[in-house]
Chain A
Amino acid sequence: MAGNEISVLIGGQAGDGIASAGQVIGHLLAGTGYRVYMHYDYPSRVKGGHNFAIVRAAEYGIGAVREGVDFVLALNQETVDLHQGRLPDNGIVLFDSGRVKNAAGIGVPVGEILAAEHAPAVMGNSAIIGAFIRAAGLDWERSAGVLGRAMPKGTDQNLRVARKGYESSEERRVIPPATLPPLPVVTGNEAIAIGLAESDLNFYFSYPMSPTSNILHFLAGAAEELGLRVIQPESETAAILMALGCAYAGSRAAVGTSGGGFCLMTESLGLAGIAELPVLVVLGQRAGPSTGLATYTAQSDLHFALHAGQGEFPRLVVAPGDAQEARDWAGTCLDLAWKYQLPAILLPDRQICEGFYSLGTGSPSPHRAMPVLADPSARPYHRYAPSGSGISPLSYPPVPGEAIRVNSHVHDSAGITTEDPGLTRGMAEKRMRKMAGLLDEIEGLPSVSLGGVRDAKVALLCWGSSKGACEELGGRRGLRVVRPIVLWPFPEEAFARAMNGVEHFYAVETNESGQLAAHVSRFGYNADDTILKYDGRPFMLDELEAELHRVVP
């Protein structure tokens, strides 16, 4: 155990319920007064293949895990073989003694426990968790409460299985209780879903794709309580078009996908741009190109999000750095899409989508951006009426005596197709004028984050989930951490303030080319060097620390 933090790895094969077991461990540690983050690593399989989760708990907010762990909970031999090297000399292995033959530590007779309780195999992880509760010296009563809440189905049976696991184990390493007030623990996907609902989402359209499928599942499960409808159409193409149909008729819609699905949506992104239809796209990044690594992470779609679509049109691109930002910005992006009538892209990476975070209370913006609505008495209504801000007031059918038109072609103020050069130029400029207002608004929001040692002359530049590792190491190593959250329109003023006094900076990204470094170079900021990782895995703390030693003088 390194100071006041602890890391627990649980592993098994797909179908063993490793993700939910990891979440339960997260809840157990959060309930002991810690902040937690969980990294879940799994191949793209329903059954078989090695799955593991690393749950890390610390006495401050975290968003990264270490290579090293204090406990390994092994549901199979492979877990022991692959991960026991992560343990220090005094590390502890708890294992299923029926499936693991070659290990030293606490053997848990999972098969016998399940047989005695007539429990299905998937409850095996409850036995191991029970054994962990004992080994870590956690309070049984409080832990049982956590287990009960985390397993609403088959609760009693799970608790009996866990209790038998507990009894088969022994106290080895007491995790000292921490004192932080409790926070809920959620995935980034859940946080995004909540943020959308809080921003009055009416419809969510999504074709299943990792890493955003769980937004679809969460919203579908809570649709009635949240007052929205969730539809899985035939393709991502259809998903975004349905959303645009909703927008035309005055309903708020969002879509969720990953890079491959966003390729299909790109055609309609331009439609949203020229027709001035608000839509929010959640683009959860995973490792590409093409199918890439379906269940692993990357930050390699920044340039795609910034440039997707033929022609030129305004857009908003925002990359949250943790679950709290994902919640806040999902709602803010939806509001801004409606106010400025443009497509907004929320660009989390897979580590945020499927990472499990202690959800901070955050600081949602004091007032919400509201759409500009047409005066119902003003006739005739022109959907693309010129204005200084570029925003044309909205009206939705039916309005007696009016034909409300939106158009994918270049059009006049009434929405009728035109090829007139003056109108073509004028409408292009009207659309782009919206970016000035949007940029003003963005500059007033926390669009660039400053972390680590805030006045240090050497900085790390990062985005998205790399926040976790960068901020933690930055603080420890005397480095400033500058992290743009809004990537387009680029908040140049906020970025300049964050970079003020920086003499050297290094970009840390999970892609091969340094996409953020290239992006900020457009504005005159040239990174001294880059630290890049593109193997589908996030930066582990110890790994990034070694890289910093190598790269940063």
Chain B
Amino acid sequence: MTGNDLISEAKNTWCPGCGNFVIQHTLKNVLTEMAAEGAPVENTVLVAGIGQHGKMFDFMELNGFYSLHGRTVPVATGIRLANPDLRVICVTGDGDSYAEGLDHLVFGAKRNIDITVLIHDNRVYGLTTGQFTPTSPHGFRGHSTPGGATEYPFNPLDLMLSSGATFIARGYTHRREQLKRIIRSALEHKGFSFVDILQICATYSDMTAYYDARVYDWDESASGDYAAAHTKAREWDYNADARIGLGIMYRRRAPTFEESYPAPPVPFAKEQQAWIQKFLENRM
């Protein structure tokens, strides 16, 4: 299998220069690499939300569930519970998972369900043509906020750390090698892995120059240290001018939801019937 086998024949409709291309090809490269090492690609399921990111579902030749806006994490949870051999990747956006589906993201982290969530965080609604999102900076001017957004963004890394995520990272679409390493680590992590990917929106919010001037690599040597992770998470609040750390911010091994609540032995139909029979007899 080559990387090209993971790109579907569907016509690509992203804008030229869109950061989604980088995420798509990085994911393709990671999965190709892992397949070559013996992780069958058919065991991967992509769960997409609604937004420009969601087109990953059509553009990649992978098992997929094209879900609703904000609704990737619970679908992925169901798939994982039903078949723990599947590697489930949510591709979702900042409008998608930070706004309409925020509760699911928080609870996915809280449960430590073994899935990977890749946030295509371009900090703007692309599909609906340029409104502000939960991570748009204060004063963002879009069609719905012509005078500038009066809300401040929230900090998704800080939020995920508080919610119990056991793998938290930030990547950037102009740091491809690092992004590839982060995504691979996220896929290999046992438990809920979360990657906020700063993504360029070529049409509505091209922050390339802004990011390029501020990004730096985190020291990952103590990534299990909660307090250190907390400091890293708060260095940049997605609004004020500050250095923007990239890399794996936090990582620890904890029992996954599936490990804590494994499938019961499936009783033979006869045993199940016997239990029901006994229950009913006790009710006579």
Binding site for B on A (CB under 8 A): 27, 30-31, 149, 182-186, 194, 197-198, 202-203, 205, 222-229, 231, 233-235, 237-239, 241-251, 253, 267-268, 271, 275, 359, 396-409, 411, 415-417
The reply to whether A229 and B58 form a contact with Cβ atoms under 8 Å apart is no
CA distance A229 to B81 in the complex (A): 9
CA distance A126 to B62 in the complex (A): 62
The reply to whether B74 and A251 form a contact with Cβ atoms under 8 Å apart is no
Interface residues of B in 149-183 (CB under 8 A from A): none
The reply to whether A403 and B64 form a contact with Cβ atoms under 8 Å apart is yes
Q: Is B14 an interface residue (CB 8 A)?
A: no
* CB closest residue in chain A, given B43: A398
The reply to whether A406 and B272 form a contact with Cβ atoms under 8 Å apart is no
From B74, B85, B86, A238 is in contact (CB under 8 Å) with: B74
The reply to whether B67 and A397 form a contact with Cβ atoms under 8 Å apart is no
The reply to whether A416 and B81 form a contact with Cβ atoms under 8 Å apart is no
B62 surroundings in chain A (CB, below 8 A):
403
From B10, B42, B71, B75, A397 is in contact (CB under 8 Å) with: B42
The reply to whether B283 and A27 form a contact with Cβ atoms under 8 Å apart is yes
The reply to whether A417 and B58 form a contact with Cβ atoms under 8 Å apart is yes
A194 surroundings in chain B (CB, below 8 A):
276, 279
* CB closest residue in chain A, given B60: A403
Q: Which 10 A-B pairs have the closest CB atoms?
A: A245-B78, A251-B82, A249-B82, A241-B74, A242-B78, A184-B283, A398-B42, A184-B280, A238-B74, A407-B66
B4 to chain A, nearest CB (A): 14
From B45, B75, B76, B283, A185 is in contact (CB under 8 Å) with: B283
B272 surroundings in chain A (CB, below 8 A):
197-198, 225-227
CA distance A411 to B10 in the complex (A): 12
Given contacts A186-B283, A416-B58, A417-B57, contact A246 B78 (CB under 8 A): yes
Q: Is B266 an interface residue (CB 8 A)?
A: yes
B70-89 CB mask vs A (1 if < 8 Å, else 0) is: 01001111111111011000
A312 to chain B, nearest CB (A): 18
B86 surroundings in chain A (CB, below 8 A):
249, 397-398
The reply to whether A229 and B263 form a contact with Cβ atoms under 8 Å apart is yes
Further contacts, 4 of them, CB under 8 A, given A222-B279, A227-B266, A237-B103: A224-B265, A234-B107, A245-B77, A400-B42
* CB closest residue in chain B, given A182: B284
B134 to chain A, nearest CB (A): 18
B71 surroundings in chain A (CB, below 8 A):
237, 241, 267-268
CA distance A359 to B276 in the complex (A): 13
Residue among A30, A237, A402 with the most chain B CB within 10 A?
A237
B229 to chain A, nearest CB (A): 24
B259 to chain A, nearest CB (A): 14
* CB closest residue in chain B, given A152: B282
Measured as residues with beta carbon below 8 angstroms from the partner, the interface class of chain B is 35 or more
> What are 26 A-B contacts defined by CB distance under 8 Å?
A222-B279, A223-B264, A224-B264, A225-B275, A227-B264, A227-B267, A234-B106, A237-B71, A237-B103, A239-B74, A242-B81, A249-B79, A249-B82, A249-B86, A250-B82, A250-B83, A251-B83, A253-B78, A267-B71, A268-B68, A271-B68, A359-B280, A398-B40, A400-B40, A404-B64, A407-B65
Q: Is B231 an interface residue (CB 8 A)?
A: no
Q: Is B281 an interface residue (CB 8 A)?
A: yes
B264 surroundings in chain A (CB, below 8 A):
223-224, 227-229
Q: Is B25 an interface residue (CB 8 A)?
A: no
Residue among B86, B271, B280, B281 with the most chain A CB within 10 A?
B280
Q: Is B206 an interface residue (CB 8 A)?
A: no
The reply to whether B103 and A234 form a contact with Cβ atoms under 8 Å apart is yes
B79 surroundings in chain A (CB, below 8 A):
245-246, 248-249
Q: Is B12 an interface residue (CB 8 A)?
A: no
Q: Is B61 an interface residue (CB 8 A)?
A: yes
Residue among A31, A249, A417 with the most chain B CB within 10 A?
A249
A403 surroundings in chain B (CB, below 8 A):
8, 42, 61-64
The reply to whether B107 and A233 form a contact with Cβ atoms under 8 Å apart is yes
B58 surroundings in chain A (CB, below 8 A):
416-417
From A246, A251, A271, A404, B67 is in contact (CB under 8 Å) with: A271
CA distance A271 to B67 in the complex (A): 8
The reply to whether A245 and B42 form a contact with Cβ atoms under 8 Å apart is no
CA distance A239 to B81 in the complex (A): 13
CA distance A184 to B278 in the complex (A): 10
B106 surroundings in chain A (CB, below 8 A):
234
B83 surroundings in chain A (CB, below 8 A):
249-251, 396-397
Given contacts A229-B261, A407-B57, contact A241 B284 (CB under 8 A): no
Q: Is B189 an interface residue (CB 8 A)?
A: no
Q: Is B230 an interface residue (CB 8 A)?
A: no
A411 surroundings in chain B (CB, below 8 A):
66
Q: Is B138 an interface residue (CB 8 A)?
A: no
The reply to whether B78 and A243 form a contact with Cβ atoms under 8 Å apart is yes
* CB closest residue in chain A, given B67: A408
B107 surroundings in chain A (CB, below 8 A):
233-234, 238
CA distance A402 to B67 in the complex (A): 20
B114 to chain A, nearest CB (A): 14
CA distance A223 to B8 in the complex (A): 41
B222 to chain A, nearest CB (A): 32
Q: Is B184 an interface residue (CB 8 A)?
A: no
CA distance A251 to B273 in the complex (A): 20
The reply to whether B64 and A405 form a contact with Cβ atoms under 8 Å apart is yes
CA distance A202 to B83 in the complex (A): 11
CA distance A149 to B42 in the complex (A): 52
* CB closest residue in chain A, given B49: A408
B275 surroundings in chain A (CB, below 8 A):
222, 225-226
The reply to whether B284 and A31 form a contact with Cβ atoms under 8 Å apart is yes
The reply to whether B283 and A241 form a contact with Cβ atoms under 8 Å apart is no
B45 surroundings in chain A (CB, below 8 A):
248-249, 397
A267 surroundings in chain B (CB, below 8 A):
68, 71
Q: Is B104 an interface residue (CB 8 A)?
A: yes
The reply to whether A241 and B78 form a contact with Cβ atoms under 8 Å apart is yes
A245 surroundings in chain B (CB, below 8 A):
47, 65, 74-82
* CB closest residue in chain A, given B262: A229
A186 surroundings in chain B (CB, below 8 A):
280, 283
A406 surroundings in chain B (CB, below 8 A):
64-66
B78 surroundings in chain A (CB, below 8 A):
203, 205, 241-249, 251, 253
The reply to whether A397 and B280 form a contact with Cβ atoms under 8 Å apart is no
A30 surroundings in chain B (CB, below 8 A):
284
Residue among A184, A253, A411 with the most chain B CB within 10 A?
A184
CA distance A280 to B85 in the complex (A): 25
B165 to chain A, nearest CB (A): 15
CA distance A30 to B281 in the complex (A): 12
CA distance A202 to B58 in the complex (A): 30
